[in-house]
Amino acid sequence: MNKSAILTLSCADKPGLVSRISGFIHNYGGNIISLNEFVDSGPGIFYLRIQWTLDQFKLTDDELLAAFQQQMMEINASWEINFSDKRLKLALFVSKYDHCLRDILYRHSMGEFEADIPLIISNHSDMKKIADRYSIDFYYFPINKDNKKAQEEAEVRLLQQHQIHTIILARYMQILSPEFVALYPNRIINIHHSFLPAFIGGNPYRQAFERGVKIIGATSHFVTSELDEGPIIVQETVKISHRNGIDDLIQKGRDLERMVLSKAVKLQAERRVLVSGNKTVVFE
Amino acid sequence: MNKSAILTLSCADKPGLVSRISGFIHNYGGNIISLNEFVDSGPGIFYLRIQWTLDQFKLTDDELLAAFQQQMMEINASWEINFSDKRLKLALFVSKYDHCLRDILYRHSMGEFEADIPLIISNHSDMKKIADRYSIDFYYFPINKDNKKAQEEAEVRLLQQHQIHTIILARYMQILSPEFVALYPNRIINIHHSFLPAFIGGNPYRQAFERGVKIIGATSHFVTSELDEGPIIVQETVKISHRNGIDDLIQKGRDLERMVLSKAVKLQAERRVLVSGNKTVVFE
Amino acid sequence: MNKSAILTLSCADKPGLVSRISGFIHNYGGNIISLNEFVDSGPGIFYLRIQWTLDQFKLTDDELLAAFQQQMMEINASWEINFSDKRLKLALFVSKYDHCLRDILYRHSMGEFEADIPLIISNHSDMKKIADRYSIDFYYFPINKDNKKAQEEAEVRLLQQHQIHTIILARYMQILSPEFVALYPNRIINIHHSFLPAFIGGNPYRQAFERGVKIIGATSHFVTSELDEGPIIVQETVKISHRNGIDDLIQKGRDLERMVLSKAVKLQAERRVLVSGNKTVVFE
Amino acid sequence: MNKSAILTLSCADKPGLVSRISGFIHNYGGNIISLNEFVDSGPGIFYLRIQWTLDQFKLTDDELLAAFQQQMMEINASWEINFSDKRLKLALFVSKYDHCLRDILYRHSMGEFEADIPLIISNHSDMKKIADRYSIDFYYFPINKDNKKAQEEAEVRLLQQHQIHTIILARYMQILSPEFVALYPNRIINIHHSFLPAFIGGNPYRQAFERGVKIIGATSHFVTSELDEGPIIVQETVKISHRNGIDDLIQKGRDLERMVLSKAVKLQAERRVLVSGNKTVVFE
């Protein structure tokens, strides 16, 4: 696979955007291999994901970024360019449940994600042995009321040092402070074990059991300052029956959670998720 | 298909219940063709659905009912016996949306339901032409604040006259009074166009669109005095994407609603739904 | 909704195609509202579906077609342009099973398809009453060995007269002659009641029952000269259990068949299906 | 959880079977906690799975087996009784693909299966490290044309020594000899990576890719002497699109394969699968 670039972009819609950007790419020798466009006609917003080859490209990466900076200012767009030889860096946060962590690490080892995972952070030491097996650095940051601020600051230094792009909360059972969340806007992905907005908050499987629903779900979403209210990326559901007790729901839910979170990780790694207000545009 | 009987029953669990009931049936010459049992070990409740042939049975229907009455008093059970030659009678309530009504009537015409549908009741006259096509009596009861009590009483007289067992609200856009609901406990089935408990109340598709969910759902449930809070019978979901506006959700939802409501009708007609508190046991 | 055009196109991949076409559209005052691109990197084929507004467009429809003709010759592309005010014309072929026909006509009446349905053709007269209800012309062409050639020729004259673009076989139980099929390459859509390539040919539900599968399926595909071998458009499956006899499979299959065929009709009406060899590219 | 017994049984249907067996259990002090019955009305075969508590039971396990032996001879039934304190023993066979093996071992470690896994057998040594991690004995039996018979005999000795009830082929890439298969009738479970009967034999993902299907599947089935033709236990499918190359199919298929095989293992461990000819009755 030759080197390629991916541009993701959103801006106010107006005529000529595709022509302008595809023309720019063509002029410098790029060949578009994938293009997704969506216009949200209500608010009139244009979303684009475009991937092109760089092997014949006449600009260096830095020249490309500089040239795009100019183009993008003219159309007042939010944008990001990623290069295939500088894979996205992800940090995994985990507590004591291991199923999501294991699933992500296994898929990563099988080459399912266009991303690197340089480190795992946990408020417990239990997962160190799994991290070791995959030769990924493991950092143990126990959190309590008194040290939370200091520990989060230490975590942030570590994340910045490793140039982490996105944080994956793989069943991380600590609420991140608003200050922490603000540093990674739409760059922290959580898994909630219900089909949001049903069963917000704690013990969703118990809530589901008590309500007597016939389906349970899982939701991956970006973390915002409001709990379980961020933009939804992926949701899946599975049927349950009256025979299923809470333990069965937890067991079935484990399958859903790992599938839904891993799918979000894959989408994010491939830059397929654009955020607009409290919603996502997912270019599958 | 020879004549058969279906017994549905729930009571406090204790040893010997299956033996007792299957022994009773065998003693009188019945052959069990289907048996479903569930014990909810938490509260210790026993649920049973059992179907047996009556062609060699030594009791008349009335003798059977009387004999069972005796048996059931001894174990303090809630129970019901239905005979295959006296099919369940259903009344359909509808307003202006026709998709659920059409689906039920078409399936009924194809023989999918073990039930009769002697009448359709509506607060609008629009659906009369569809009722006529299927040769089903159509009754028009316009409802307003002033006449609601009187109209409901007239409806109830009609329902009783036709010995209606279960009422199907096929997108009936009137809230039934508590007095009406109390007359048909766990015998009124509604379709709600969301995966309850998400998006209770009005405009669930708009709510879903605004929250930016990636799945929508539909829920059929028994009607209780609390809106959208009754025991859930069937739920299904379908994926949506950022490309789908509210109109697309309504369109995709129509498919879900008719599928979910028709499935509940079929289950109820075959006596596969038992209610326990605010949950259902569904013997598929 | 303002007038728009949809271009579908495939050709050998080369740099600059998106830029060229989007530039052309922009130059004449069109605003792209939707764009789907796919490059099949194996054979190196480029597929495109692009929709743009025409309300500010500087060319008439005929001028646009002529200008595109020129462009397309230069890149040796297969292409088609459809205008939103000249909706695709579909003919429905049906025999005695009515579920697919009813489903398509109901959805059509609800505005789900960007298409017109000027006529229904059948080798039986049974469906005339349904056609009448929807005020669609119904033509009865009984077919036997002796008259088949003549009847098909009469059908073709009728189809040409109505400028039919695509033929939908809604459970049409006659095999079309190779001559007929050759007149509508990739423009005849069939529904086969199995998840092809399993259970090709007759009685797929019986075959499925006898093999003891745990899922059944349905497949919509373009008709080619080889039975059940054409490019697949949509497939869906549903679970079955040991409790299901052949009648249950037929009943569950009815739901699948109508859903799968209607989905293919919708995709085709919106020009979302491109054919490449024996496969389809479906831009959802 | 108190000790319980599970009886699985099939025989020619006749009146009084449920009464007889439930009466027997009740007479000796057992309380039925789960009962599934199915009568295949075509050939007239009765299938039963019944579970009851043993804490008040008046017979020892051996007395129970002897008493049942007597009962079962009278009705000429195939039957098996399993006790909850003597869990089913499974052997896993694996080659070089690790996803199914890992999934089974992880679920086993989480307590999802009512079974023990005393050993893993492989024709390659690669999986030893995973076996070690879970502290399960690993036996390496390289197979070639010359040693196949001898190696299989050694395997069988090992299996008998460990009283293995069922063999799970977790992507085992060797065809077992008919002699081996005959020793474990309906006790060898395989995973095939297609929705059988489509794409029997080798390279099913390539076959699926080349046919251009829109769904792929996986099938777990009992192994018989005819390749991929044994009774099907579980099947699942997942959608694919034109964007998916063979590698994507393999990746999506891995998820299906492990889910479908693990589901079959769970069903078998709980004695929920009865075989009848070339089909299964699955009491979920």
- For the stretch D138-175, pLDDT in tens is 999 999 999 999 999 999 999 999 999 999 999 999 99
At D190, which helix (H) or strand (E)? strand D188-192
pLDDT of residue C198: 94
Q: Does A126 touch chain D (CB under 8 A)?
A: no
Inform me whether the pLDDT recorded for A94 exceeds 80.
yes
Q: Tell me, what's the pLDDT at D211?
A: 96
How far is the C-alpha of C267 from the C-alpha of D242, rounded, in Å? 15
Measure D112 CA to nearest chain A CA, in Å: 8
DSSP 3-state of D87:
coil
**Predicted confidence (pLDDT) at residue A59 exceeds the cutoff of 80:** yes
Residues of chain C with CATH 3.30.70.260: 4-83
CA contacts within 13 A on the Cβ side of B41: 11
Q: Is C228 a catalytic residue?
A: yes
Of D99, D106, D259, the CB nearest to A102: D106
How many inter-chain contacts (C to D, CB under 8 Å) are there?
A: 85
User: What is the β-pairing status of strands C78-83 and C4-12?
Assistant: antiparallel
The answer, for A278 touching chain B at a CB cutoff of 8 Å, is yes
Catalytic hit among C228, C247, C248, C255: C228
Q: Could B110 and C255 be called an inter-chain contact, meaning their C-beta atoms sit closer than 8 Å? A: no
**CA gap B248, B256 in Å, rounded:** 12
D263 → chain A, closest CA residue: A252
Q: B52 CA to chain D: closest CA distance, Å?
A: 10
Average pLDDT of D46-54? Answer: 97
B260 pLDDT exceeds 70? yes
| C-alpha span between C225 and D243 (Å, rounded) | 27
Fill in the amino acid letter for A23: G
Say whether A232 and B217 touch across the interface (CB within 8 A): no
pLDDT tens digit string along C155-187? 999 999 999 999 999 999 999 999 999 999 999
Going by DSSP bridges, is the β-strand pair C115-122/C137-140 parallel, antiparallel, or unpaired? parallel
% of chain D beyond a pLDDT of 70: 100
Per residue in B211-231, pLDDT tens?
999 999 999 999 999 888 999
DSSP one-letter code for D241: -
CB pairs under 8 A between B and D: 65
Q: Does the domain formed by A88-282 have CATH 3.40.50.170?
A: yes
Among D215, D234, D279, select the one facing C235 at the smallest CB separation: D215
pLDDT in tens, B132-172: 999 999 999 999 999 999 999 999 999 999 999 999 999 99
B233: contact with A, CB 8 A cutoff:
yes
Of the candidates C99, C112, C255, which has its C-beta nearest B251's C-beta? Answer: C112
Average pLDDT (D87-115) is 97
Taking the C-alpha atoms of residue A22 and residue C22, their distance in angstroms, rounded to an integer, is 8
For chain D, where are the alpha helices, taking DSSP H only?
17-27, 61-75, 99-109, 128-133, 148-161, 178-183, 204-211, 246-269
Residue (of D140, D139, D119, D128) closest to D98 by Cα position: D128
If one counts every other C-beta atom within 10 angstroms of the C-beta of residue C132, the result is: 11
Greater confidence (B176 vs C228) lies with B176
Q: How confident is the model at residue B202 (pLDDT cuts 50, 70, 90)?
A: confident
- Mean per-residue pLDDT, D238-266: 97
Spatial distance between the Cα atoms of C235 and A70, rounded to a whole number of angstroms:
46
Residue A86 identity (one-letter amino acid):
K
- Best probe of the C interface among B255, B261, B263, B272, by most C CBs < 10 A, is B255
Picking from A47, A214, A238, A246 by the largest number of B CB atoms within 10 A of its own CB, the best residue to mutate is: A214
Measured between beta carbons, the chain B residues lying within 8 angstroms of A241 are 282, 284
What the block records as the tokens of C200 is 């090709």
D212: which chain C residues are within 8 Å (Cβ-Cβ)?
Answer: 231-232, 278-280
Mark which residues 56-75 of C lie under 8 Å from D by CB: none
3-state secondary structure C154-201: HHHHHHHHCCCCEEEECCCCCCCCHHHHHHCCCCEEEEECCCCCCCCC
Span(s) in chain A for CATH 3.40.50.170: 88-282
pLDDT of B1 reads: 67
- Whole-Å CA distances, A203 to A209, B211, D46: 10, 22, 42
Q: Which of C79, C64, C69 is nearest to C28 (CA)?
A: C64
Question: Are the CB atoms for A93 and A117 separated by under 8 Å?
Answer: no
Residue type, B253: G
User: Which has the closest alpha carbon to D101: D263, D282, D262, D232?
Assistant: D262
Cβ–Cβ of D15/B30 closer than 8 Å? yes
What values do phi and psi take at D73, rounded to 5?
A: -65, -40
Out of C38, C232, C281, name the one closest to residue D213 (CB): C232
Task: Give D-chain residues touching B19 at CB under 8 angstroms.
Answer: 19, 22-23, 25-26, 32
pTM listed for this prediction: 0.97
Q: Which candidate from A211, A245, A280 shows the least CB-CB separation from B242? A: A280
Which residues of D are the active-site residues? 228
Spatial separation of the C-alpha atoms in residues D278 and C212, rounded to whole Å:
7
- pLDDT band at B95; cut points 50, 70, 90: very high
> Could you tell me whether strands A88-94 and A166-169 are parallel, antiparallel, or unpaired per DSSP bridges?
parallel
Choosing among 3.90.1170.50, 3.30.390.50, 3.40.50.300, 3.30.70.260, the CATH entry for B4-83 is 3.30.70.260
What contacts B278, CB < 8 A, 6 or more positions away? Answer: A211, A212, B224, B229, B230, B231
* Confidence band for D266, pLDDT divided at 50, 70 and 90: very high
Contacts of C279 in chain D (CB under 8 A): 212, 242
Helix (H, G, I), strand (E, B) or coil at A115: strand
Decide if C255 and B259 are in contact by the 8 Å CB cutoff: yes
How far from chain centre, in Å, is Cα C121?
A: 16
Name the band, by pLDDT with cuts 50, 70 and 90, for residue D196: very high
Residue A81 corresponds to which amino acid? I
C-beta of residue C283 within 8 angstroms of C-beta of residue C9: no
Interface check D236 vs C, CB under 8 A: yes
CA dist., res. D215 & res. D212, Å (int): 9
Q: Give the mean pLDDT of chain B.
A: 96
CB B266 within 8 A of CB B112: yes
Q: Which of B213, B219, B239, B274 to mutate to test the interface with A (most CBs of A within 10 A)?
A: B213
Is any Cβ of chain A less than 8 angstroms from the Cβ of B275? no
Any chain A CB within 8 A of the CB of D254? Answer: yes
Chain position carrying tokens 């209500």: A42
Q: Which residues contact C160 (CB under 8 A, 6 or more apart)?
A: none
Q: CA-to-CA distance for B277 and B280, rounded, in angstroms?
A: 8
* Contact predicate C185/C220, CB 8 Å: no
Region A27-31: mean pLDDT is 96
Subunits close to C (at least 3 CB pairs below 8 A): A, B, D
Residue B255: list chain C partners with CB under 8 A. 259
How far apart are alpha carbons B186 and B190 in whole angstroms?
11
Question: Which candidate in D1, D101, D110 is best for mutational testing of the A interface (most A CBs within 10 A)?
Answer: D110
Chain D, 18-57: which have a CB under 8 Å from a chain B CB?
18-20, 22-23, 25-26, 29-39, 41, 56
- Given B13, B26, B33, which is nearest D19 (Cβ)? B26
- B238: which residues sit within 8 A by CB, 6+ positions away? B215, B216, B217, B252, B255, B256
Which residues does residue D92 pair with via DSSP β-bridges, in sequence order? Answer: D120, D168
Distance CA(B232)–CA(A210), nearest Å, equals 11
Q: Are A143 and A150 in contact (CB under 8 A)?
A: no
| Reported confidence tier of residue C1, pLDDT bands at 50, 70, 90 | low
Q: What one-letter code names the amino acid at A278?
A: N
Residue A71 above 90 pLDDT? no
Catalytic positions of A are 228
Residue D254's φ and ψ, nearest 5 degrees, are: -55, -45
Helix (H, G, I), strand (E, B) or coil at D42: coil
